[in-house]
Amino acid sequence: MKIITDYLVIGSGLAGLSFALQAAETGTVTVLTKYTLEENNTSHAQGGIAAVLSSPDSFAKHIKDTNIAGAGLCNQEVVTKVVQYAPNVIQNLLNWGTRFDTEKDGAYNLAKEGGHSEHRILHHKDNTGYEIQRALCNKVRSHKNITVLEHFFAVDLITQHHQGELVKRHQQDVSCFGAYALDIASNKVYTILAKTTMLATGGAGQVYSTTTNPTIATGDGFAMVHRAKGVLDNMEFVQFHPTALYNPSDSPAFLISEALRGFGGILRNKKGEELMKHYDVRGNLAPRDIVARAIDNEMKTSGSDFVFLDCTHIDKKKLQNHFPNIYKKCSSIGIDISKDMIPVTPAAHYFCGGVKVDAFGRTSIKHLYAAGEVSCTGLHGANRLASNSLLEAIAFADFAISVAKHEKETNPIQSNIPDWDYEGTSFPEEMILITQSLKEVQQILSNYVGIVRSQERLKRAFNRLWTLYSETEDLYKKTTLSPKLCELRNLILVGYLVIKSAKARKKSIGLHYMVDYSE
């Protein structure tokens, strides 16, 4: 079964939907999402979106903060381009119906987060991502040129490989013609052909046992591009958010926004002592890589599973007004954050690396673009500055459509693409194998490829992962497709890519901390 469209968008977060809305002005758009349009990483983003909108702030300050957080590995051209474009991003969001918190005089209520030298974070309470997603979904669902396919799982990108041609490893030889997608309801695979494909599949937090990411964050885009011979970069830079709520029964972990520290929250160790003053002059507002390592060290030194975030000195009404969801969540497990300290622990949060793109979101595969967390633009370097991710997602969606819209007239739909081959498959008899293997993958990455690494740990992780890879590939070849099996396969590949990149970078920098090279 075939679907033909001008633009195929894989993913329904901020990057995908903002691209879709603009692409729909020039052609037909099909948006593919493996769950619902509303469920994605964007909708879980609490903090906000960074933009320079007033003095004493400036583009130069935002650029400097981004570079410092990125530990010198940021692409300067990209940082400047994105930071200067930020006011346009905010205007687009306002035009689409996004609401941001304001003061009584109508000025934006700008927050300050770790690594930022000024107050420049626009937000909507403590559920900014949800608010942005609400506005975008309303626009997308009502647009006549956009077709939304929910519960469709992108299995693989379609390239020359599927035409039976011999394609060399050189990525410039590869073009993308669309994707094969599994309709979960019917268990049928559709061949979706497009002139241009935008990959906006988010990250892969589920490769770790503790993550703030939803269960759908399984690295599908990373894996599909790697299988299609595309280029990925900086996969070793996995950002652990320093403060996830310590509540072992929660999966995913509930995020305690960095904005709470920007609001005055203080990290304390098991003894109640202020923690960060021993690690960085910026204290509680140091960049995330530094804070996460500090907490990790305190936990290992004390033998505790968590540290504390103390907000008891902050006015209760202000906490309830600015952080209603955090207040409600903590209250549900018996913690009144105006009286009790919050137990917190680091959790896998964001991939700073990914599918390598140029300044217009073009990947190494022709007619394939990438934006959002799945991409590696050069903005984040070795460590993402807080609240730069939502900014990057929509900025690169804009940059991409500015060039992609010209492909519609020059890139014809490929007609000689075969349908999916079901031959030799049957229903798996033991789905328990998939569940068990997923847990093993998560334990391997968490134990050996976490906040602190070593060459010996990476070697052990690779050897254990190789066994799971071999078993899963064998299962994949002889059983019918299922989302869980595809996700497992993708997560194993993501784990491999993180280990491979980590082994290759023989120095400690940013989020990649190696005890072998700690000096």
User: Tell me: the pLDDT tens digits for 120-161?
Assistant: 999 998 899 999 999 999 999 999 999 999 999 999 999 986
> What is the share, in percent, of the chain residues with pLDDT greater than 90?
84
Assess whether 293 and 196 both reside in one domain.
no
Q: Which domain holds residue 55?
A: 2-236+352-409
Catalytic choice (288, 293, 384, 453): 288
The Cα-based distances of 28 to 5, 22, 191, 193, 394 in angstroms read: 6, 11, 16, 12, 20
Average pLDDT, stretch 227-232? 96
pLDDT of 43: 76
**209/26 Cα distance (integer angstroms):** 42
505 labelled catalytic = no
pLDDT of 519: 52
| Under 8 Å between Cβ of 145 and 74 | no
| Residue 445: band (very low, low, confident or very high) from pLDDT cuts 50, 70, 90 | very high
| Under 8 Å between Cβ of 381 and 72 | yes
Q: Which is nearest to 368 in space by CA: 359, 355, 379, 380?
A: 355
In a domain, 182, yes or no: yes
pLDDT of 71: 95
CATH number for the domain that contains residue 466 = 1.20.58.100
DSSP class of residue 213 equals: S
Average pLDDT, stretch 369-384? 97
In a domain, 266, yes or no: yes
CA 324, distance to chain mean position in Å, is 24
User: Tell me: the pLDDT tens digits for 154-209?
Assistant: 999 999 865 544 444 444 578 999 999 999 999 999 999 999 999 999 999 999 99
User: Tell me: the pLDDT tens digits for 52-93?
Assistant: 998 999 999 999 999 999 999 999 999 999 999 999 999 999
**380/234 Cα distance (integer angstroms):** 10
In a domain, 247, yes or no: no
CATH number for the domain that contains residue 300 = 3.90.700.10
Assess whether 140 and 224 both reside in one domain.
yes
In a domain, 415, yes or no: no
| Residue 98: band (very low, low, confident or very high) from pLDDT cuts 50, 70, 90 | very high
**293/383 Cα distance (integer angstroms):** 13
Looking at the structure of the chain, the number of domains it has is 3
Assess whether 320 and 178 both reside in one domain.
no
**246 pLDDT above the threshold of 80:** yes
The encoded tokens of residue 22 equal 């603009």
Assess whether 174 and 124 both reside in one domain.
yes
**286/281 Cα distance (integer angstroms):** 8
**30 pLDDT above the threshold of 80:** yes
**358/399 Cα distance (integer angstroms):** 10
Residue 83's identity, in one-letter code, is V
162 or 214: which carries more pLDDT confidence?
Answer: 214
| Residue 32: band (very low, low, confident or very high) from pLDDT cuts 50, 70, 90 | very high
pLDDT of 430: 61
| Residue 518: band (very low, low, confident or very high) from pLDDT cuts 50, 70, 90 | low
For the chain, report the end-to-end CA distance as a whole number of angstroms.
57
pLDDT of 38: 87
Q: What is the pTM for the complete model shown? A: 0.94
**462 pLDDT above the threshold of 70:** yes
Q: What is the mean pLDDT of the chain?
A: 93
The residue among 346, 381, 397 that closes a domain is 346
**425 pLDDT above the threshold of 80:** no
pLDDT of 169: 45
Assess whether 79 and 215 both reside in one domain.
yes
pLDDT of 170: 46
Residue corresponding to tokens 């060459």: 455
**229/79 Cα distance (integer angstroms):** 27
| Range scoring the smallest mean pLDDT among 147-151, 354-358, 413-417 | 413-417
Assess whether 333 and 401 both reside in one domain.
no
What angle do the packed helices 483-504 and 432-448 form, to 10 degrees? 20
In a domain, 251, yes or no: no
The Cα-based distances of 145 to 140, 149, 151, 370 in angstroms read: 9, 13, 20, 21
